[in-house]
Amino acid sequence: MTQRALTGIKVADFSHVVAGPLATHFLALNGAEVTKIESPRGDNLRNYTLDPAQRGLSPAFAGINAGKGSVVLDLKTPAGRAEAEAIIAASDVVVENFRPGVMARLELGAAEMRARYPHLIWCAISGFGQTGPLADVAAMDQIIQSLSGLMSLSGLPEDPAMRVGFPVVDTFTGLLAAFAIQTALLQRERGLCAGQEIDVAMLDAALVMMLSVVNPLLIAGEAPVRTGNRGFSRAPTSDTFSCAGGSAITIGAVEDGHVAKVLAVLGLEPLLDDPRFADRRARAENADAMADKMAEVLQTRPAAHWEEALRARGVPAARVQDLADAVAMSHLTGRDLFLDLPARDGGRQRILNAGFRFAEGGPGTAYPAPELGAGRQATS
């Protein structure tokens, strides 16, 4: 059986909450042995729940710490620091997301540790990076969403700024950090470096995540326009529409061929003979007028009807679902998207896997998130 790509790689994880633990979560799913170094109180995310029975292993914590070990150390004591250094020395990768300078004040900083252990891949995750005027400023996901411009992208022009409804910056930052770490490991394996020091900033990551709107701004001075649920193309046929019975559908028709098929399904083919809607530019200039005509027809049937009819013609379309309906889709069966792990109460719990599949040696783990101080945990 093919082993996972990071089998044998040891990771000392000093991170907490989301971005750092998510980075090491992806390393663990790919076979790395990850040891969380936690304070006596534990990672704050352990208690991110209103249910007393879930305290210590909240769903948010359990979902991104499966397959890791947990060692409790008081880094403010000489004994705690000595044990932490021993773990670092035996590791390939160190991940930390303290404010810049905290690890150095504990005499466990990147410069000192890498001087002693030059093989280390050291990844520091922070709000604004290890350098620059904002390096010492505290940050969290919604703060970066605000400062980065992300909150000004969604909705309509007259709407107030609105954050994305989950910690999207933390999530992308964690993924970017995991990618950077694996890139550095490959550098080291190829002899291109002895070790590496990685600086991942949430603000940088947020801007990279928005590259589809940031690059046009940088290259051509094109500021993004808020278009609500209308697609990036601004085509009126690429939007979300209300349907019968309180349902809704999103249609993604941009190219002329797809537009013609949508109008045929809706019985609106004559619109293409109207100069206002005859080509892509004209449709964009008269988008609201065309969308109104489509909306009138779409409201006559449920979203499921239109979804089936449009898909039959090869048009991208999907009914609007809530999250529970999405994760229950039969399509996901056999996709290796979920992991079934032991739960604290003796039952089972389901969490998300990495989201990609390998023919052999793909991501996953058989172990749940650790209780605080549970010790080292093998990966599988």
Angle value at C-alpha 40, between 34 and 46, nearest 5 degrees? 65
Question: 189 in a domain, yes or no?
Answer: yes
Q: Which CATH number goes with the domain that contains 278? A: 3.30.1540.10
Q: Do 68 and 194 reside in the same domain of the chain?
A: yes
* Token pair belonging to 29: 């799913």
Stretches where the chain sits below pLDDT 70 are 1, 378-380
The pLDDT value recorded for residue 231 is 87
Q: Do 147 and 268 reside in the same domain of the chain?
A: no
- Of the residues 141, 170, 274, 336, only one is catalytic, namely 170
Question: Which are the contacts of 63, defined by CB distance < 8 A and separation ≥ 6?
Answer: 351, 352, 369
Q: Do 57 and 177 reside in the same domain of the chain?
A: yes
Q: Do 77 and 167 reside in the same domain of the chain?
A: yes
DSSP letter, residue 109:
-
Q: Do 253 and 187 reside in the same domain of the chain?
A: no
Q: Do 16 and 92 reside in the same domain of the chain?
A: yes
Please identify which residue in the block is written with the tokens 């979300």: 240
Q: Do 110 and 23 reside in the same domain of the chain?
A: yes
Q: Which CATH number goes with the domain that contains 191? A: 3.40.50.10540
Dump pLDDT digits (tens) for 192-212. Answer: 999 999 999 999 999 999 999
Question: 364 in a domain, yes or no?
Answer: no
Q: How far apart are CA 35 and CA 345, in angstroms?
A: 23
Question: 218 in a domain, yes or no?
Answer: no
**170 belongs to the catalytic site:** yes
Question: 305 in a domain, yes or no?
Answer: yes
Q: Do 128 and 257 reside in the same domain of the chain?
A: no
Question: 1 in a domain, yes or no?
Answer: no
Question: 361 in a domain, yes or no?
Answer: no
Strand pairing of 248-252 and 317-319? antiparallel
Q: Do 339 and 313 reside in the same domain of the chain?
A: no
H or E element that contains 260: helix 256-265
Q: Do 167 and 287 reside in the same domain of the chain?
A: no
The pLDDT value recorded for residue 1 is 58
Q: Do 30 and 100 reside in the same domain of the chain?
A: yes
Q: Do 17 and 143 reside in the same domain of the chain?
A: yes
Q: What is the value of pTM for the model shown?
A: 0.93
Report in angstroms the alpha-carbon separations of 70 from 60, 97, 260, 287: 16, 17, 58, 55
DSSP string, 145-157: HHHHTGGGTSS-T
**What domain count does the chain have?**
2
The domain in which residue 200 lies consists of 10-209+334-352
Do 152 and 226 touch, CB atoms closer than 8 A? yes
Do 252 and 238 touch, CB atoms closer than 8 A? yes
* Helices 211-220 and 202-209, packing angle to 10 deg: 80
Report in angstroms the alpha-carbon separations of 229 from 18, 138, 233, 288: 28, 33, 11, 13
The pLDDT value recorded for residue 378 is 56
130-138 — which CB contacts under 8 Å span 24+ positions?
A: 130/100, 130/199, 131/199, 134/203, 135/100, 136/99, 136/100, 136/101, 138/99
The pLDDT value recorded for residue 233 is 86
